[in-house]
Each structure stands twice: as C-alpha cells, then as structure tokens.
Amino acid sequence: MGMLGRLKGLFSYDISIDLGTANTLIYVRGEGIILDEPSVVAIRQEAGPNSTKRIAAVGAEAKAMLGRTPGNIVAIRPMKDGVIADFTITEKMLQHFIRKVHENKFKAFKPSPRVLICVPCGATQVERRAIKESAAGAGAREVYLIEEPMAAAIGAGMPISEASGSMVLDIGGGTTEIAVLSLNGIVYSNSVRIGGDRFDEAIINYVRRNYGTLIGEATAERIKEEIGSAYPSAEVREIEVRGRNLAEGIPRSFTLNSNEILEALQEPLSGIVGAVKTGLEQTPPELGADIAEHGMVLTGGGALLRDLDRLLMEETGLPVIISEEPLTCVARGGGRALELMDEHGGDLFAID
C-alpha cells in the first residue's frame, strides 16, 4: 500500500462483508452494521438495436421483484451455494452496496475501502479468487478473506483464543458451515451445501406433491419463517397460503400446519444433523470433551428455525445454544477481525 492508498483511505471506511447467498451484510468499523439487504439484483434488458443490460434494482427492492418480473426484467440471485454464480452481477451488486455504505459520509469521492469478506470454508481456490476479484472490481483497495465459521465464532463471542474447543454451526442461505476452533485456528471444518434455500425448496416440493399446488420461493420462505420447525411440539400452528393449483391452473388458497412443514423439512435437516455428527466424530477427543461440556453454538439465519437447537440436542446429546443476533454474527465477527488485524498485525488469524 503506497501513499495513494493511504490517501484514498482518508475518504473510505474499513468494512467487513458477509456476502451471503440470501443476504449481504456490511459492517463498518466504528459504526456497526449499516447495510443488510437481500443478495438480489434486478436487470432490465433495454429495447433497441444494442440491447444493453441495465441494473434496475438491487437489494430489498429487487427481492420484491423475484418471481414477479415482466419479460424485460430478470431478478437474479448472483450467489449460489455460498459462492459466486454470476461474476459480473456480483461485482455490480458489491459496487452498489459499497457505494451505498459510503453515501452518507464521503459522497464526493469514489469509495475505495479496505474490505474483509467472509467465504465458506468449502470454497475452492477458484471460488475464493472470484470473490476476491469481484470485491477488487467493485472498488476495494485491499481485500482480505476470512473463513466464515471463524468470523461467526468471533461474532458470537466464543472464546476461540483459549486452548479449549469451541464448535460453531453457521446455517446460512446456501451453506451450512461446521467448525471446531481452538487457539485462533480451525481444527476441523466442513461445509455442506444445505441452507435456508434448501428448506424453501423442500417446502415447495412438499406442497406440489401433496397439494398439487405450485407456490413461489417468497411464499415458501414466509411459510418457513412463520410455522417452520425442526422438532415436533405440542402446539400446532397454521398458515393460509395461496398457490396455483396444477390441475385447475387457477390460484387457490389452502391451509398448511407446522407438522406438515416439519415433515417437508426432514431431508435437509437430516443432512445438517449428519454433518454435525460427522464433525463430532472427526474432532480430537480433548476438544470434543470441551464441546460436550460447554455446548455448540448456532449462528446464521438457519438458527432462527424454531426448535432447531432442540433437534440437535436430541440427536447429539450435547448442549446447543443459539447465539445472540444470529443473522449478524458473521458480519460483526468479520468487523472485529479487521480491528484485531490492525491491533495485532496480520498474523492473528489465517487470512488470505
């Protein structure tokens, strides 16, 4: 970093980005989380001979368009399974978010922040490079990558510096990350491509199979949030939804209850439980004993699924706790890691 970079730094923030499949969060150092938007971009195909593509909307505005767009607009989720599915659009989206974050303070300058991005631990070198380059293309001056479970653990306030095992389970939109951490490092990590999106898909499939009715992603997500649960409970909740009846071809409304959704979610949930069990199997015995004593911590949007902690407790027999504000854990942890990097130099964590 030369003189110019330092000069640019005067007019930009240090930010940490949780570039998730479902939501992108930006934590600004010294300010907190100031952006939390869905990772959705709406693109308009302009009419005319050159037919250029224009960004119509980004974030919450674009998400409202998902599945409801006319022919010339497509709403795209450029991230899939925790990694970049569309390079150019991810870059544009990041550019938009970074500009938005800087809007209120440094309006006159092109933002060039120092950026720390959280990547799934299962991401390949190519995927990591793609994420790094899209951030650089979006104007970042320096880009650091941190493994998502590490950021989640820091954000959840787990004692990862101690010589004691901490297990974190971060269930995001596209991936579930399991990691065992000790002494600022990752002892075991695994990433399975099951997350909130797979829950939604499972609900869509269930409703199509059992009700002969097609529902959209947004509806499936609403069902999951309102009555979805991971473990049977005495209380049965209901929700009324509308979808297109496949036989009649006409939108119909019908009622679903929480037991049906529990049944629908069995497959992705057993995938997550299986991954947790594999993780515990692979953990060295001393660290396993620490985890059995203190419990594992759930973070990410998936932790908000009702009774998921209960399911994991029953399946593993270990205490399971849900972190505070699970949705923002990763972004906050990334921001804290950025601060620690400055305090202690770059060698505190393995950051590429």
Partner 1 sequence: MSDSANHDETSDQELEPMELPGRRLRETREARGLSVQDVASNLRLSSQVIRALEQDDYAALPSATFVSGYLRAYARLLEISESELSLPRQAVSNPRLVKSVSTASEPRSRQFPMRLISVLIVLALLASSVVWWINHGNELLFERDDNGASSLSDTRPHLSLPERVVSPPELSAVPSPLETPAEPVDPAPAGAEPTREAEPAAAEPVPVADESAAPVLVQANMELRYQGDSWTEITDNTGERLAFGLVERGTVLQLVGEAPFSIQLGYAPAVEVIFNDEVFDHRPFQRRGVARFNLGGPEHNRPVTR
Residues lying near partner 1 in the complex (CB under 8 A) are found at 1, 3, 6-7, 9-10, 30-33, 87, 124-126, 129-130, 133, 154-161, 183-184, 293-295, 297, 309, 313, 317-325, 332, 336, 340, 342, 344-345, 347-348
Rounded Cα distance between 180 and 185, Å, is 9
Residue owning tokens 């439980």: 273
CB of 183 to partner 1, least distance (A): 5
How far, in Å, are 148, 260, 274, 279, 290 from residue 313 at the CA level? 23, 22, 13, 15, 16
Nearest residue (CB) to partner 1, 233 versus 245? 233
Closer of 186 and 215 to partner 1 (Cβ): 186
- Give how far Cα 97 sits from Cα of 20, 103, 111, Å: 13, 10, 11
Task: Please report how close the Cβ of residue 216 comes to partner 1 at its closest, in angstroms.
Answer: 26
Give yes or no for a contact between 178 and 186, defined as CB atoms under 8 angstroms apart. no
> Residue 324 is encoded by which pair of tokens?
């505070």
Between 63 and 114, CB nearer to partner 1:
114
Quote the least distance from Cβ 317 to partner 1, whole Å.
6
CB of 7 to partner 1, least distance (A): 6
Comparison of 1 and 246: residue with beta carbon closer to partner 1: 1
Shortest distance, position 226 Cβ to partner 1, whole Å: 18
116 neighbors 15 (Cβ within 8 angstroms): yes
The answer to whether residues 186 and 121 touch, using CB atoms and an 8 Å cutoff, is yes
Between residues 267 and 315, which has the closer beta carbon with respect to partner 1?
315
Region for residue 197 given its phi and psi (left: phi exceeds 0; alpha: psi -120 to 50; beta: otherwise): alpha
Is residue 318 helix, strand or coil?
coil
Is the Cβ of residue 95 or residue 323 nearer to partner 1 in the bound state? 323
Closest contact distance (angstroms) between CB of 191 and partner 1 is: 17
Using the 8-state DSSP alphabet, how is residue 328 labeled? G
